Amino acid sequence: MTSRFDHVENRKGTNSMKWDAVDKLYEGEDLWPMWVADMDFSAPPEVIKAIQEEVGRGIFGYPVRSASVDSAVQSWLKKRLSWEVDADELVYTSGVVPAISQIINRFTEPGDKVIIQPPVYYPFFNVVTNQDRQLIENPLVFDGCHYRMDLEHLRSVIDHKTKILLLCSPHNPVGRVWTEEELQKLAEICIEHDLLVISDEIHCDIIFKGHQHIPTATLSEEMKQRTITCMAPSKTFNLAGLQTSYTIISNPALRRKFKNHLSREFLNMFNSIGAVAMEAAYNEGEAWLEEFLSYLQENVQFVKTYIEEHMPKIKVIQPEGTYLLWLDCSDLAMTAQERKKWLTAQAKLALSNGIVFGKEGEPFERMNLACSRDSVKEGLERLKKAYDSLK
């Protein structure tokens, strides 16, 4: 049976970072892009229709916050995560990474320490160091097939200058969906040491069967009061270019300080088209999302089977969430730089080189599977051709 996701969109020549910038960024030619976290799928038709209607008005002035957008976000969180949030707790931002950067700016001082858990989404490093804060690494523990948090090490790196834990949940790039038990143990440490938690939950809608996303702020009243959750419809519905996201801040004092900070920095406006898209996506996009999740699960299984059969020296780390596949290339016996050159020159393939996620990611590559099955096949065939040349 043909799926809407089998359709291959030609994104070349559309000012797509994924497609139009890849050759220059990777210093190659005719590369097949399976790198940046950007879908090749059209947004849900309901979203496209809503945007077209808004564009048809022909006026693009300053927007005001809409109660209908608040309601759409609230309904989505309740339906998908069983999380009831008051409209007052929502603070809209222009993107999750910009929000994280501004939270760190507002709630820490130069020289303060912020903890991250690598291998992790690479902007996490710069949002800390670019503001003259100290980056403290609490690396995840990898046992060859599974990742876990190293809570003993976490305790050892916290001191009086440690102010924030920056959590990636679900975790990009390793694909973990943290269990309630894991999060509760983490929460105990954060409460004990009075840490503010920034919880990046942008991938929370992309969860595989058998797993459940637990919003960090819902663990307890204490965590609710010390957590700032960052979310967006961008990964879920391929809306990243509309730069629309939101934070959920239940603590009134934290919320007031953050809103005042955004106002002082003139960052308290949002994208009017993005707000229309978000409202339509959350109100009418659930059926599209469920179809996408089924298709994605099939993509994961297809890649896993293909690699096991044709490229046994590469190991697929089974994802629990996100549309990003973490590939263990340790047995190829290449450095990250050697592997990147090999992929570029021999496979004509652009993956996200694991080293950008921290030194712990050095033997890995991240593959984006939010594309058609034919696109996945093309990428795998290119990879196999290069793999076979190693024999």
Express each pLDDT in 321-351 by its tens digit. Answer: 999 999 999 999 999 999 999 999 999 999 9
For residue 19, what pLDDT is reported? 96
pLDDT at 66: 94
Which one, of 269, 203, 212, lies nearest residue 240 by Cα? Answer: 203
pLDDT at residue 391 above 90? Answer: no
Would the pLDDT of 180 be above 90? yes
Q: What percent of the chain has pLDDT over 90?
A: 97
Q: What is the pLDDT of residue 373?
A: 97
Q: What is the mean pLDDT of residues 16-33?
A: 96
Average pLDDT of span 263-273? 93
Asked if pLDDT for residue 1 goes beyond 80, the answer is no
- pLDDT for position 295: 98
User: Which two structure tokens, joined as six digits, stand for 177?
Assistant: 């969906």
- Over residues 85-108, the mean pLDDT reads 98
Handedness of CA 165, 170, 173, 176 (dihedral sign): positive
For the whole prediction, is pTM greater than 0.95? yes
Measured CA to CA in angstroms, residue 376 lies from 8, 15, 16, 22 at distances of 11, 22, 18, 17
pLDDT category, 372, cuts 50, 70, 90?
very high
In this prediction, residues 352-374 reach a mean pLDDT of 98
Quick one: average pLDDT of 16-43?
96
Average pLDDT over residues 96-104: 98
Q: Whole-angstrom Cα distance, residue 198 to residue 202?
A: 12
Helix-helix angle 45-56:272-284, to 10 degrees: 150
**What's the CA gap between 64 and 83, in Å, rounded?**
25
Average pLDDT rounded to a whole number, residues 172-199: 98
Question: Which residue segments constitute the domains of the chain, with CATH numbers given?
Answer: 4-44+286-388 (3.90.1150.10), 61-283 (3.40.640.10)
pLDDT-based confidence at residue 36 (cuts at 50, 70, 90): very high
Mean pLDDT check: name the lowest of 69-73, 81-85, 264-268, 300-304: 264-268
Average pLDDT over residues 277-295: 98
Mean pLDDT of 94-108: 98
Taking only the tens place, the pLDDT of each residue in 143-153 is 999 999 999 99
| pLDDT value of position 2 | 82
Amino acid letter for position 184? Q
pLDDT over 70, % of the chain? 100
**Pairing state between β 32-33 and 349-350:** parallel
Q: What pLDDT was estimated at residue 269?
A: 87
Phi and psi (nearest 5°) for 363? -90, 10
Amino acid 141: pLDDT: 98
Q: Closest Cα partner for 72 from 211, 183, 233, 184? A: 233
pLDDT in tens, 214-258: 999 999 999 999 999 999 999 999 999 999 999 999 999 999 999
Compute the mean pLDDT over every residue in the chain, rounded to the nearest whole number.
97
pLDDT number for residue 270: 84
Tell me what pLDDT residue 259 has.
Answer: 98
Find the distance separating the first CA and the last CA of the chain, reported in whole Å.
Answer: 38
Supply the pLDDT for residue 20: 96
